[in-house]
């Protein structure tokens, strides 16, 4: 266990208007899998977030070094590293948000579903500990396959009697980040102004960007929309292939994970009208989990928003994704039932 850092250094660094109200809330964030490819840059970005007062970095190994390193940054949060299962409880206790990038990345030729056997076991044991040590925390699930790990987590929480559907999120922000980037490039608009909802799930065709709702509006051809949709759906594979066996997206994922956690923190702190896309328990389709825009509040999901009018192409995409998403969800539920 390594404890370092100081909570007294941040005020000078972030002494800007509005910071005083952010400081009014003590918020603990735990990152599980903090030594990994995503975990390290995500820990760095969470250390830069002035809404965080305590940052707990947990992994099976390597976290004392990561925590010592990150803790020297002169921002608000106090950083503590925890290594090994016997320190997991301490890492989790008092957490407001638990971010889970623990697992293994895929290699070229693999699907996210190929990671299921390893991820399901890891997610189960981590969620059992969350149920015990911080059952009220918001859980941001990054570990793949998200379409199945989120249902596994829900089943674990149900079995422990602590399931609150408002507090479990599959992180699909990277799909939104990619859709915005690719759209801005094609539409020749300022990427900072772009908004694109992405619905469905987080794997291949289950990722459905709604370019018909993208703003600023642009006159793109059907072929352009198809190409943008495919690139968004294959964004993860594009990175896996470019890394050629050395893992999957880590830096862009850390950015996306930090963005989503920041929105969760803002919601917890009572900031109004915080909306993000996320894979959550849902009734917007007949599927029990579905990614769409959700409004975040003091208890997590305040409202699961519908997805509005779809183009014919998107409607076809929605119908086409349902069977894969349904079976990925069922896979998680069935695995948990058998794992007892």
By CB under 6 A, tell whether 148 contacts ligand LMR. no
Within 8 A by CB and 6+ apart from 249, the residues are: 38, 174, 235, 236, 239, 240
Distance CA 127, CA 132 (A): 9
By CB under 6 A, tell whether 240 contacts ligand LMR. yes
Q: Establish whether 202 is a catalytic residue.
A: yes
DSSP state of 287: S
Q: Which is nearer to ligand NAD, 235 or 317 (CB)?
A: 235
Question: Which of 47, 54, 76, 112 lies at the binding interface for ligand LMR (CB under 6 A)?
Answer: 112
Stretch that binds ligand LMR, among 184-192, 233-241, 284-292, 295-303 (CB under 6 A): 233-241
Stretch that binds ligand LMR, among 119-127, 221-229, 234-242, 276-284 (CB under 6 A): 234-242
At 246, phi and psi to the nearest 5?
A: -100, 20
Query: Residue 6 in contact with residue 78, Cβ under 8 Å?
Result: yes
Query: Residue 43 in contact with residue 34, Cβ under 8 Å?
Result: yes
Among ligand LMR, ligand NAD, none, the one that 240 touches (CB under a kind-dependent 5 to 8 A) is ligand LMR
Burial of 90 (0-12, 13-18, 19+ CB in 10 A): middle
Among ligand LMR, ligand NAD, none, the one that 239 touches (CB under a kind-dependent 5 to 8 A) is ligand LMR
- Say which of 13, 25, 72, 202 is annotated catalytic: 202
By CB under 6 A, tell whether 248 contacts ligand LMR. yes
Distance CA 140, CA 153 (A): 11
Closest CA to 95 of 264, 245, 231: 264
- Count Cα neighbours of 54 within 13 Å in the Cβ-side half-sphere: 19
Interacting residues toward ligand NAD by CB under 6 A: 32-33, 35-39, 59-60, 101-106, 115, 119, 122, 125-126, 142-144, 146, 171, 174, 202, 247-250, 253
- Angle, CA of 159, 162 and 165, to the nearest 5°: 100
Q: Which is nearer to ligand NAD, 60 or 220 (CB)?
A: 60
Question: Which of 40, 49, 119, 144 lies at the binding interface for ligand LMR (CB under 6 A)?
Answer: 144
Q: Is 72 helix (H, G, I), strand (E, B) or coil?
A: coil
Stretch that binds ligand LMR, among 20-28, 192-200, 232-240, 277-285 (CB under 6 A): 232-240
Which residue of this chain has its Cβ atom nearest to ligand NAD in the complex? 36
Which residue of this chain has its Cβ atom nearest to ligand LMR in the complex? 236
DSSP state of 86: G
Residues in the chain: 340
Among ligand LMR, ligand NAD, none, the one that 250 touches (CB under a kind-dependent 5 to 8 A) is ligand NAD
By CB under 6 A, tell whether 174 contacts ligand LMR. yes
By CB under 6 A, tell whether 106 contacts ligand LMR. yes
Question: Which of 138, 239, 274, 287 lies at the binding interface for ligand LMR (CB under 6 A)?
Answer: 239
Among ligand NAD, ligand LMR, none, the one that 33 touches (CB under a kind-dependent 5 to 8 A) is ligand NAD
- Angle, CA of 190, 210 and 205, to the nearest 5°: 120
Residue 142 Cβ vs ligand NAD, minimum distance, rounded to whole Å = 4
Task: End-to-end CA distance of the chain: give it in Å, rounded.
Answer: 31
Q: Which is nearer to ligand LMR, 30 or 179 (CB)?
A: 179
DSSP state of 195: B
By CB under 6 A, tell whether 76 contacts ligand LMR. no
Query: Residue 319 in contact with residue 283, Cβ under 8 Å?
Result: no
Secondary structure of the chain: what % helix, strand, coil (to 5)? 50, 20, 35
Q: Where on the chain is the footprint of ligand LMR (CB under 6 A)?
A: 106, 112, 144, 174, 235-236, 239-240, 248-249
Residues with catalytic roles: 202
């Amino acid at each position: 266990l390594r404890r370092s850092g100081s909570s007294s250094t941040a005020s000078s660094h972030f002494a800007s208007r509005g910071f005083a109200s952010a400081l009014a809330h003590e918020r603990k964030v735990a990152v599980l899998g903090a030594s990994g490819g995503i975990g390290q840059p995500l820990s760095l970005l969470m250390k830069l977030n002035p809404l965080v007062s305590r940052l707990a970095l947990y992994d099976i190994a390597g976290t004392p070094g990561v925590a010592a390193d990150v803790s020297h940054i002169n921002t608000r949060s106090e950083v503590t590293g925890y290594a090994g299962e016997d320190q997991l409880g301490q890492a989790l206790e008092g957490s407001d948000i638990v971010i889970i990038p623990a697992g293994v990345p895929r290699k070229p030729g693999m699907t996210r579903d190929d990671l299921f056997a390893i991820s399901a076991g890891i997610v189960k044991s981590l969620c059992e500990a969350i149920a015990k040590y911080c059952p009220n925390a918001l859980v941001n699930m990054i570990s793949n396959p998200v379409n199945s790990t989120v249902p596994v987590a829900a089943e674990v929480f149900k079995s422990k009697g602590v399931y609150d559907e408002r507090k479990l999120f599959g992180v699909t922000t990277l799909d939104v980040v990619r859709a915005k980037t690719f759209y801005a490039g094609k539409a020749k608009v300022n990427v900072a102004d772009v908004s694109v909802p992405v619905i469905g799930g987080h794997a291949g065709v289950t990722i459905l960007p709604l370019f018909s709702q993208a703003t600023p509006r642009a006159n793109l051809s059907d072929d352009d929309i198809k190409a943008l949709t495919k690139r968004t759906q294959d964004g993860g594979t594009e990175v896996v292939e470019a890394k050629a066996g050395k893992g999957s997206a880590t830096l862009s994922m850390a950015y996306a994970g930090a963005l989503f956690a920041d929105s969760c923190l803002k919601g917890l702190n009572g900031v109004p009208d915080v909306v993000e896309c996320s894979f959550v328990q849902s009734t917007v389709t007949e599927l029990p989990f579905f990614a769409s825009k959700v409004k975040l509040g003091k208890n997590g999901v305040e409202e699961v928003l519908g997805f509005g009018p779809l183009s014919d192409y998107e409607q076809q995409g929605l119908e086409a994704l349902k069977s894969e998403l349904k079976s990925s969800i069922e896979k998680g539920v069935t695995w948990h039932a058998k794992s007892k």
